[in-house]
Structure 1
Amino acid sequence: MEVSRQRALIVLVHGACHGAWCWYKLKPLLEASGHHVTVLDLSASGIDRKSLNDVRTLADYTAPLLEVLDSIPPHEKVVLVGHSLGGLNLGLAMDKYPHKIGVAVFLAAFMPDTKHGPSYVLDQYCEGTPAEEWLDTELLPIGTPEDPLTSMLFGPKFVSLKLYHLCSPQDVALANALLRPSSLFREDLWKKSPFSNEGFGSVKKVYVVCTQDKAIPVNFQRWLIENSAVDEVKEIENADHMSMLSTPPELCQCLLEIAKEYA
């Protein structure tokens, strides 16, 4: 594996129901190439102590990431990587801290734009996904009619058949043991204005397509790319939705190339 000579600060943001734990294979590979890597649990995720009942908005959910970026010195910029729903966390962070992000990497992720509200890409995905495609995923209303929220927890069938179908049995077992209820936060995002051109729109963007993804299929990933201008598109062959677990060396090489180009 080629090692980049330039040391970058890479921040890895997990997707829904997951936590910092899902990067356990990728983090040491990137660090072995000389980069500093930060992984974090978003609110009510991983070992974060909050309950989903305490996390009502995307901003609440994203708070740990915003705290990390707030702590970055003004002269430094990060390579910010968001997986799956983590693309929405990136959108919020890019709008708030565009000057601290050298490049935003959307890894098989929902990528918003500056033309529509931030719920738009999720709405398009949900409207185009038949109910039976969610398999045994639990979608439950929580909260009150005045403050609604829909919780989401991937079931074992969805994990093994849609998310982790090219991963090892050990990683499937790990996921089923560690996944926590999350949300798409659509109820909150329906109320929000589009991300700004001055914030989100000013940050360099790279989209990484996972060609064997059954959770966010390739055709939808390509639609996301067409919907929101990106600076570069990369592909990882034979990667399912969880490329950090199914193809970590290939993903590492991809991120090293991005860091070398944009960091």
Structure 2
Amino acid sequence: MATWETKRQRHHHFVLVHGMCHGGWCWYKAATALRRAGHRATALDMAGCGRHPARLADVRTFEEYSRPLLDAVAALPAGERAVLVAHSHGGYSVALAVERFPDKVAAAVFVAASMPALGRPMAATSDELLAYVGPGFFMDSKEFEQENPEIKGKPFIFGPNFMAQRLYHLSPAEDLTLGIMLIRPANAFTTGNPDEAVMRDAKLLTEDGYGSARRVFVVVEEDQGIPAEFQRHMVAQSPGVEVGEITGADHMVMLSRPVELVDLLIRIADKHNSSNR
């Protein structure tokens, strides 16, 4: 069985993108393992998340929210192609980055992540997920009043019971405690804002951009945050996307099954990244 310490000939650059209310910190196990195996791992904070200095009210659009990822991909050296790894809501930021810089992406990996389809606005995927899970799904999560009138919709933060039962139910108790301590309120930009240009543009994702990338979806079978049935629904909307599976993991698969996730990411990169560095 492959392990984190397995020696490999190729070395890859993984750019890891977190989900809603979280930050780059949630990749601490996976980033460590990838580096131990000889790869580069960049765990980013989206604007206003994790250790990013922006205040919630300063991040007015999804473009601004995703700017740390867009800037990181744009700054890749000539000839370098990174493996972009999205978790949960991070799928939208990765889709945007792939659309803008397809030549800099070896593969886009969606790990229990929102994966938009070509020919539809990205927010349509979020709308469908909310309809699928139904009212009351977010349990004790809380909404806040919007400080910036330029931002439509209300920011929110996950509740501890929601995190324990929907996101971290198979993760170590220490990681749930860490998550509750470190999450920050966030704007989704996918709901309550019909004027959000990036999320509502049906022509944003093109065949030559996002559609040209190698895309892999990792289905997490025991996920309660984005149920596996809905994950497969997203895959069905994007013919040609490769599919992998991880069992025994919750939504926070990078915490509950880091060994399996890291091994799968390296195998995906070995298959799709032809540029050896």
1:8/1:79 contact within 8 Å kept:
yes
Please report the TM-score for the alignment, with normalisation by the length of structure 1: 0.96
- Structure 2 residue aligned with 1:106: 110
Distance 1:160 1:147, change over 3 A: closer
- SS of alignment partner, residue 66 of structure 1: helix
Gaps spanning 5+ residues in structure 1: where?
none
1:138/1:152 contact within 8 Å kept:
yes
- Structure 2 residue aligned with 1:164: 168
Cα deviation, 1:130-159, whole Å, max 9, x if unaligned, reads: 221110111345156664132121000011
Amino acid at match of 1:101: V
C-alpha distance in structure 1 between counterparts of 2:269 and 2:201, whole Å: 31
- Aligned ranges 1:84-103 → 2 under 5 Å: 84-103=88-107
- SS of alignment partner, residue 136 of structure 2: helix
- Structure 2 residue aligned with 1:50: 54
C-alpha distance in structure 2 between counterparts of 1:143 and 1:245, whole Å: 33
Distance 1:256 1:146, change over 3 A: closer
Whether 2:50 is the aligned partner of 1:28: answer no
Amino acid at match of 1:214: Q
Distance 1:260 1:35, change over 3 A: same
Cα deviation, 1:181-213, whole Å, max 9, x if unaligned, reads: 112212225542331111111110000011110
Displacement of 1:3: 3.7
2:119/2:202 contact within 8 Å kept:
no
Whether 2:192 is the aligned partner of 1:192: answer no
- SS of alignment partner, residue 95 of structure 1: helix
Amino acid at match of 2:161: K
Taking only the aligned residue pairs, the percentage that are identical comes to 37
1:4/1:256 contact within 8 Å kept:
no
C-alpha distance in structure 1 between counterparts of 2:175 and 2:264, whole Å: 22
1:56/1:149 contact within 8 Å kept:
no
Range moving further from structure 2, 192-201 or 237-246: 192-201
Counting matched residue pairs gives 263
Please report the TM-score for the alignment, with normalisation by the length of structure 2: 0.91
2:153/2:189 contact within 8 Å kept:
yes
- Structure 1 residue aligned with 2:11: 7
- Structure 2 residue aligned with 1:220: 230
C-alpha distance in structure 1 between counterparts of 2:49 and 2:171, whole Å: 21
2:61/2:151 contact within 8 Å kept:
no
- Structure 1 residue aligned with 2:248: 238
Amino acid at match of 2:238: S
C-alpha distance in structure 2 between counterparts of 1:57 and 1:126, whole Å: 21
Distance 1:190 1:78, change over 3 A: closer
C-alpha distance in structure 1 between counterparts of 2:75 and 2:150, whole Å: 35
Whether 2:210 is the aligned partner of 1:203: answer no
Once superposed, which parts of structure 1, at least 4 consecutive aligned residues long, lie more than 2 Å away? 143-147, 189-194
Decide which structure has greater strand share.
1
Distance 1:130 1:261, change over 3 A: same
- SS of alignment partner, residue 173 of structure 1: helix
1:137/1:152 contact within 8 Å kept:
yes
1:150/1:185 contact within 8 Å kept:
no
1:153/1:182 contact within 8 Å kept:
yes
- SS of alignment partner, residue 38 of structure 1: strand
- Structure 1 residue aligned with 2:157: 153
Aligned counterpart for 1:79 among listed residues 80, 83, 98: 83
